[in-house]
Amino acid sequence: MAKVELALQVLTGAEATAHAMRQIQPDVVPVYPITPQTPIIQTFSRFVADGKADTVIVQVESEHSAMSAAVGSALAGARTMTATASQGLALMVEVIYIAAGLRAPIVIAVGNRALSAPINIHGDHSDGMLARDSGAVQIYAQDAQEAYDLMVMAPRIAEHPDVMLPVMVGQDGFQVTHSAEGVALLPDPDVRDFVGPYEIPNPLLGGGASSHGTFAMPDSYFELRHQLVQATEAAEAVYAEVAQDYRRRFGRDLPQIDAYRMEDAERAILLIGSAAGTAKEVVDDLRAEGERVGLVALRLYRPFPHAALRAALAGARRVAVLDRAVSPGAYPPLYSDALGALQGSATTLQSYVYGLGGRDLSQRAVRRAFAELALPAADRIGYLGLGGEDGDGEP
Amino acid sequence: MRAGGTVLPGDVARPRTGGWRTGTRPAVDLSRCVDCLVCWIHCPDTAVRQRGAVFQGFDFDLCKGCAICAEVCPTGAIRMVSEETPLDPGGVLPGTGVLADGQG
C-alpha cells in the first residue's frame, strides 16, 4: 500500500470539498447558494475566478434550474457537479429523479440540513432522505477529510459504465461543512489521474445523433426503471472497487461500512455521518469499562449495503439504529433499511432518532442508547436529546 | 433498451402513433389541393407525405388525428372524417383525383 504522506491543512468540510472540485476541474457547475452549502460554491467560485480551475459556473435562479442545467450539461458530454442543501435539495429532487432516470452522472455535494418548518439552517439528514428513492447514489462523510476523499471518489462511481447515476456526497451541515480540522489534500495531478477523463455513451455533443428524455409507454417504462434499479445496485460493487483503488494509490481506507471495534461486540450502534465521532469516543470509554460494544457507521447509504451490514453486525445481539431524520407515523429510514437487511438474523434492532435541526448528540445520549440495549426490547422509537433529557440542546 | 431510454437513429424502425386517433382522420379533396404543403410544415407527427414540392397524402400509421392540417389548409381541401368513411390510399376522398405517385 503506497501511503502518501501529506501535510495537514486547516480546512472546513466545505473548503475541503471545494478543493476536491478545484482538483477535479469539472467542466460545468450550475449552482445556487444555500446554507450550509454556500461555502462550498463560494470557495470554488473563488478558485475559478483566480484561474485555479477551468470550469464554467452557471449562475441560475433556483436549485430546480441548477439541476436541470446539470442534466443537459452532463448528457451533452461535460463533467458536471453541483451543490445544495435542505430546501434547495427539496426543490432539486424532481430533477434528481430525472437525472437518475436519464442516467446522467452528476456529482452533487450536499451540506445536509434540516427541512422547514420551522425554518432551521442546521444539520440533519431529512434533506438527503427526500432523494432516497430517486436512484441517485448517496454517500455520507463523517468529517472534513472524508468529505474531501469521497468527493474525489464520487466522479469515478457516478461515471462508471455500470452505474451512470448522480452521486450525492453528504456532509453534516455546520458540524462538517463549517468545522475546521486538519485535512490532507492529495497532489493535484494525482487527483486528475485518479478521476480520469469524462466519458459517457452517446453524448449530445459527441457528433452523432441521439435523443434523451424520450417518452416511455407502459410497454417500456417498467424495463427502464428496472435498469435504473440494477444500476443503483451495481454502484455497491463499484464503490468498493473505487475505494480499493483509492486505498491502493493513496493509503486511505474508506470502506462502505466503517465497523469500529466490532470484534466480539454484543451491542452496537448503527448510524450515518458526523455523529460517528462522538459514538467512537463512547465506544472507547465503554470498552475501557469492559463492555463489549461497537459502532457501525455507513458511508454508503444508497445503494444500501445489505450483505455487508449483515456481516458487520453478525456477532451483535442488539443494535441501536440512530436516525437523524424522521418518517412521521412510521419507523425512520435507516432503521427500516437495517431491519430489511437483518431479516431472519438473530440480531434485534432498537430505533432511535437524534440530532434534528442541528441538536448535538451528546456522549451521555449515546451511553443511554447502549445502556437501554441491555434492557428488554422496547416496541417504540426512542428519542435521544429530546427535551434536554440527555443533557444536550435546549429543552 | 439503451440505458436511460436514449434513442439512436435506427433504434425505432417504424413508430406507429396512428393508434392514438380517437375516431376521426384527415381526408383530402385532391381537386382543391394546390401543393402548398402548409399541412406538411404544420404536422407535428410527420404524417403528411411529400415528394419534392408535391403533396403525397397522409401516413395513417403516424397520424394522431389532431386536425391541425384541416385547420391550416388554405383551400379547404382537408377535412376530418370518421374512421369508417371509405377513402382512397393516402386519405384521398374518392373521385377527387389520384396522388402523383399513384400509391397509397
Chain A residue numbers with beta carbons less than 8 Å from the beta carbon of B7 are: 210-211, 214
Strands A137-140 and A167-172: parallel
Other beta carbons within 10 angstroms of residue B9's beta carbon come to 9
Q: Å from A164 to nearest chain B CA?
A: 9
Chain A residue numbers with beta carbons less than 8 Å from the beta carbon of B1 are: 220, 223-224, 227
In terms of Cβ atoms closer than 10 Å to its own Cβ (0-12, 13-18, 19+), residue B24 is middle
Residues counted in chain B: 104
Nearest residue in chain A measured CA to CA from B1: A224
pLDDT, tens digit (0-9, with 9 covering 90-100), for A366-387 = 999 999 999 998 889 999 999 8
- Which of A103, A201, A210 is the closest to B7 by Cβ? A210
Q: Is A160 on the interface with B (CB under 8 A)?
A: no
Q: What is the DSSP letter of B89?
A: G
Alpha helix positions (H), A102-143? 126-130
In the three-class reduction of DSSP (H, G, I as helix; E, B as strand; rest coil), residue A9 is classed as strand
Chain A residue numbers with beta carbons less than 8 Å from the beta carbon of B3 are: 103, 164, 201, 227, 231
Taking residues A45-58, what's their average pLDDT? 98
pLDDT, tens digit (0-9, with 9 covering 90-100), for A238-270 = 999 999 999 999 999 999 999 999 999 999 999
- Which of A103, A211, A216 is the closest to B3 by Cβ? A103
pLDDT at residue A3 in the model: 58
Q: What is the mean pLDDT of chain A?
A: 96
DSSP states of A152-197 as a string? HHHHHHHHSTTT---EEEEEETTTTTS-EEEE-PPPHHHHHHHH--
Other beta carbons within 10 angstroms of residue A320's beta carbon come to 25
pLDDT band at A393 (very low <50, low <70, confident <90, very high): very low
Q: Å from A231 to nearest chain B CA?
A: 9
pLDDT at residue B61 in the model: 94
pLDDT at residue A391 in the model: 64
pLDDT at residue A395 in the model: 35
Q: Going residue by residue through chain B (104 aa), what tens digit of pLDDT does each one get?
A: 899 999 998 888 777 889 999 999 999 999 999 999 999 999 999 999 999 999 999 999 999 999 999 999 999 999 999 999 999 999 999 999 999 765 54
Q: Å from B21 to nearest chain A CA?
A: 16
What is the residue extent of each domain of chain B? 14-84
Taking residues A346-373, what's their average pLDDT? 96
pLDDT band at A360 (very low <50, low <70, confident <90, very high): very high
What is the residue extent of each domain of chain A? 9-250, 257-388
* % residues pLDDT > 90 (chain A): 94
Chain A residue numbers with beta carbons less than 8 Å from the beta carbon of B9 are: 208-209
Residue A10 sits at φ, ψ, to 5 deg, of: -85, 110
- Which of B1, B7, B8 is the closest to A223 by Cβ? B1
Q: How would CATH label the architecture of B14-84?
A: 2-Layer Sandwich (3.30)
Higher pLDDT, A328 or A391: A328
Choose, out of B1, B6, B11, the residue to mutate when testing the contact with A (most A CBs < 10 Å). Answer: B6
Same fold, A9-250 and A257-388: yes
pLDDT at residue B102 in the model: 52
Taking residues A283-298, what's their average pLDDT? 98
Cell numbers found for residue A135:
436512484
CATH of A9-250, one of 3.40.50.970, 3.40.50.11890, 3.40.250.10, 3.60.110.10: 3.40.50.970
Q: Domain A257-388 is in which class?
A: alpha beta
Chain B residue numbers with beta carbons less than 8 Å from the beta carbon of A224 are: 1, 4-5
Sign of CA dihedral A146, A165, A330, A379: negative
pLDDT band at A394 (very low <50, low <70, confident <90, very high): very low
